[in-house]
A and B are shown apart, each in its own frame.
Chain A
Amino acid sequence: MIRFLLLGILRDRSRSLFPLIVIIVGVALTVILQTWLSGMLDNMIQSSANFMTGHSKITTRAYAAEAQQMPNDLALLGADSLIAAAAGEFPEMIWTPRIRFGGLLDLPDSSGETRAQGPVFGTAVDLFNPASPEPKLLNLEQALVRGRLPQFPGEILISEDFSRKLGIEPGDTATLLSVTMYGSMAWYNFTIAGTIRFGVVAMDRGAMIADIHDIRKALDMEDAAGEILGFFRDFQYNQTRAGEIAADFNRHYSDPDDEFSPLMKTLREQNNLASLIDVLSWALGGIITIFLLVMFIVLWNAGLMGSLRRYGEIGVRLAIGEDRGHLYRSMLYESVILGILGSLLGTALGLAVSYYLQHQGIDIGSLIKNSSMMFSSVLRARITPLSYIIGFLPGVLATVLGTAVSGIGIYKRQTSQLFKELET
Chain B
Amino acid sequence: MQNSILISTNNLTKRFPMGEDAVVALDQVNLQFRKGEFAGLVGPSGSGKTTLLNIIGSLDVPSEGEVLVLGEAIEKIGHKAAARLRNRHIGFIFQTFNLLPVYTAFENVEFPLLLQRIPESQRKKAVWESLEWVGLTDKAKSRPSQLSGGQSQRVAIARAMVKRPSIMLADEPTANLDAQNSHNILQIMERLNRELQTTFIFSTHDEKVIQYLRRKITLDDGRVASDETFTTERAGS
Residues of A within 8 A of B (CB): 1, 4, 7-8, 11-12, 15, 312-313, 315-326, 415-416, 418-420, 422-424
Contact = CB atoms under 8 A, between A and B. Distances in A.
Contact of B90 (A4, A312, A321): A321
A419 B94 contact: yes
Contacts of B92: 319-320
Interface stretch (B26-34, B111-119, B125-133, B186-194): B111-119
Contact of A316 (B87, B95, B98, B102): B98
6 contacts: A7-B107, A12-B101, A15-B102, A415-B54, A423-B95, A424-B96
Contacts of B91: 320
A378 to B, nearest CB: 49
Nearest to B55: A416
Given A321-B88, A322-B87, A326-B115, A419 B53 contact: yes
B95 A321 contact: no
Nearest to A14: B102
A290 B90 CA distance: 51
Contacts of B82: 415
A419 B98 contact: no
B166 interface: no
A318 B96 CA distance: 16
A319 B99 CA distance: 12
A322 B83 contact: yes
Contacts of A325: 80
- Grouping DSSP codes into helix (H, G, I), strand (E, B) and loop, the A interface class, with mixed when no group exceeds half, is helix
A11 B102 contact: yes
B124 to A, nearest CB: 13
Interface of B: 50-51, 53-54, 57, 59-60, 79-80, 82-88, 90-92, 94-96, 98, 100-103, 107, 110-112, 114-115, 159-160, 171-172
B100 A323 contact: no
Contacts of B80: 323, 325
A325 B160 CA distance: 22
A319 B103 contact: no
Given A320-B86, A324-B79, A313 B100 contact: yes
Contact of B84 (A12, A323, A415): A323
A74 to B, nearest CB: 79
B100 A316 contact: yes
A312 B103 contact: no
B114 A4 contact: yes
B120 to A, nearest CB: 10
Contacts of A319: 57, 59, 86, 92, 94, 98
Among A317, A321, A322, A424, chain B packs the most CB atoms within 10 A around the CB of A321
Contacts of A420: 50
Contact of B114 (A1, A318, A424): A1
Given A7-B103, A319-B86, A322-B83, A415 B98 contact: no
Contact of B102 (A12, A318, A326, A416): A12
A8 B91 CA distance: 23
Nearest to A12: B102
Contact of B112 (A321, A324, A422, A423): A321
